[in-house]
Structure 1
């Protein structure tokens, strides 16, 4: 049983919750007999470099403390290495932890969960999505939702959630169907019009929006949720149902399953785990059992 593990901390996550969560999580791990070292970077690139050094040095586990952005960084360091991943969810959305059934905003409980899994030598082998050399755990988003993200990222004021709410209203006013070129596995490429296409390794994004409600993180397949062309009125009616996953029954929504998805569309950015991965076209591939999660 490796005695030293690494806390990979984003102190700014959740308006400072990440910094406050590190202490209780570390305390729980030390009580279980582990030596704990902490990695905090000056920026995302520096943090990832530190996490990779810890993995290369043989740390017993990498424990991400923060939100989905921090988990995404941690995945870049541990995927395919055999180093277990723990998650202390202390961000705003926490979709990865939510889908995996881990404690949310309970850092001591999350620390105890990781410690017990390490001590008992257990964990859950999860699939990950991969786009080039970029790994993702939850959802690749493209379309209306990514346009909202694009707009919010351009806005300097207001800050916080209000920035996204105003961006959503602005994009709703400009709503129009997007012409996609889609290829699933080895099937022929198809041209379709859609409001958005989400490729789910996990089921939720955006803080509990179950856009790919049927997706499982260990079945070797993506769930591909296509929201077809719709009016603003229809979108507003369907949107609240996303939190329950009942939108999948609406006639404008279809779901496909595939291990490899190619999406192309003009002027659309892809976001995976809430982080920009660049403009379409993008190819996402499932990688079975790419990470061992401490649960």
Structure 2
């Protein structure tokens, strides 16, 4: 493995934490004897191009500095290659890092962990989801949760988490069941009315919400969480339990496991790792061993603190 590694930086992550976090992470990596090259894209398209170039040129590791959006861009570059992914999680949600027990908002510790992992045995090979042409590490959201993401993306103010809190309230006011058609592993079509269907390679999204609490990134399966048609009062009772991962035993919630899932629902866009993938119908599949993540450990069990 080459001793040159690439820090892939989003300077705007966490209201500027990305730019600040790159320095202590780089310092730890250089102190461990690695040559560190920093890549900063002018925009998402340019950042993605630069990440692919670094992997193609044989970088020893691609280390994403930022939030889940930066991790998502990095995954598109390293998935299916032998280049390991490191994560210096300093964004708002950091669900990918939380799911794998990686440091959150501690860039020096994240840098040390990555350096140690690079000098040890090869990083563990973990599963990724793939929806259309997009790789994802955590959850493909469709329905209520993707409508919240879509509304939040359209809204300029307020900034940060409050934007999505307001979007959630607005979507609750407009709550309606959606007619879904679902196929698991190419089997017979299952038709149901649901508020949302979440397809999890990992357990978390939305800043620690364990929508797919049993999902593991090393079992070759996707967890499919279905919240059946329900009224606002029921949904408001179910959602606080999502943070502990205890909602799965609610009568309105059903969980399936499959290697692939095909989803169809009118007027719904799928969001994977918080990024838009495209309108349904979409097919998501699990790709075993598609990425190596430096310092990763098993996903946290339901109820454990994130």
Fold shared, TM-score > 0.5 on shorter chain: yes
Is the CA contact 2:132–2:277 (under 8 Å) kept in the aligned structure 1? no
CA distance in 2, matches of 1:109, 1:155: 35
CA displacement at 1:187 relative to structure 2: 1.1
User: What's 2:99 paired with?
Assistant: 99
**Is it true that 1:115 corresponds to 2:115 in the alignment?**
yes
CA distance in 1, matches of 2:125, 2:263: 27
User: What's 1:274 paired with?
Assistant: 274
Is the CA contact 2:225–2:254 (under 8 Å) kept in the aligned structure 1? yes
CA distance in 1, matches of 2:89, 2:173: 34
CA displacement at 1:124 relative to structure 2: 1.6
Q: Deviations over 1:92-144 (max 9, x none)?
A: 00000000110011101101111111111331211001112210000000000
CA distance in 2, matches of 1:31, 1:183: 51
SS at match of 1:81: coil
Alignment of 1:145-294 (within 5 A): 145-294=145-294
SS at match of 2:193: strand
CA displacement at 1:221 relative to structure 2: 0.2
SS at match of 1:270: strand
SS at match of 2:223: strand
CA displacement at 1:150 relative to structure 2: 1.4
Is the CA contact 2:89–2:103 (under 8 Å) kept in the aligned structure 1? yes
SS at match of 1:27: helix
CA displacement at 1:154 relative to structure 2: 1.7
CA distance in 2, matches of 1:98, 1:126: 15
CA distance in 1, matches of 2:151, 2:34: 44
Let me know the Cα RMSD of the aligned residues.
0.8
Q: Is there any run of 5+ residues in structure 2 with no aligned partner, and where?
A: 296-306
CA distance in 1, matches of 2:162, 2:107: 27
User: What's 1:19 paired with?
Assistant: 19
**Is it true that 1:52 corresponds to 2:52 in the alignment?**
yes
CA distance in 2, matches of 1:105, 1:178: 37
Q: Is there any run of 5+ residues in structure 1 with no aligned partner, and where?
A: none
Is the CA contact 2:184–2:258 (under 8 Å) kept in the aligned structure 1? yes
**Is it true that 1:131 corresponds to 2:131 in the alignment?**
yes
- Quick check: 118-127 or 179-188, which moved more? 118-127
User: What's 1:10 paired with?
Assistant: 10
CA distance in 1, matches of 2:205, 2:47: 23
**Is it true that 1:79 corresponds to 2:90 in the alignment?**
no
CA displacement at 1:156 relative to structure 2: 2.3
CA displacement at 1:164 relative to structure 2: 1.1
Q: Deviations over 1:211-268 (max 9, x none)?
A: 0000000100000000001110111111100000000110100000001110110000
Is the CA contact 2:130–2:287 (under 8 Å) kept in the aligned structure 1? yes
**Is it true that 1:29 corresponds to 2:29 in the alignment?**
yes
Is the CA contact 2:6–2:61 (under 8 Å) kept in the aligned structure 1? yes
Q: Deviations over 1:47-75 (max 9, x none)?
A: 01111111011000000000000000000
CA distance in 2, matches of 1:274, 1:156: 17
Any runs of at least 4 consecutive aligned residues in structure 1 with deviations exceeding 3 A, and if so which? none
- Quick check: 155-164 or 75-84, which moved more? 155-164
User: What's 1:143 paired with?
Assistant: 143
SS at match of 1:195: strand
Q: Deviations over 1:26-56 (max 9, x none)?
A: 0000010000001100001100111111101
CA displacement at 1:173 relative to structure 2: 0.8
CA distance in 2, matches of 1:223, 1:132: 18
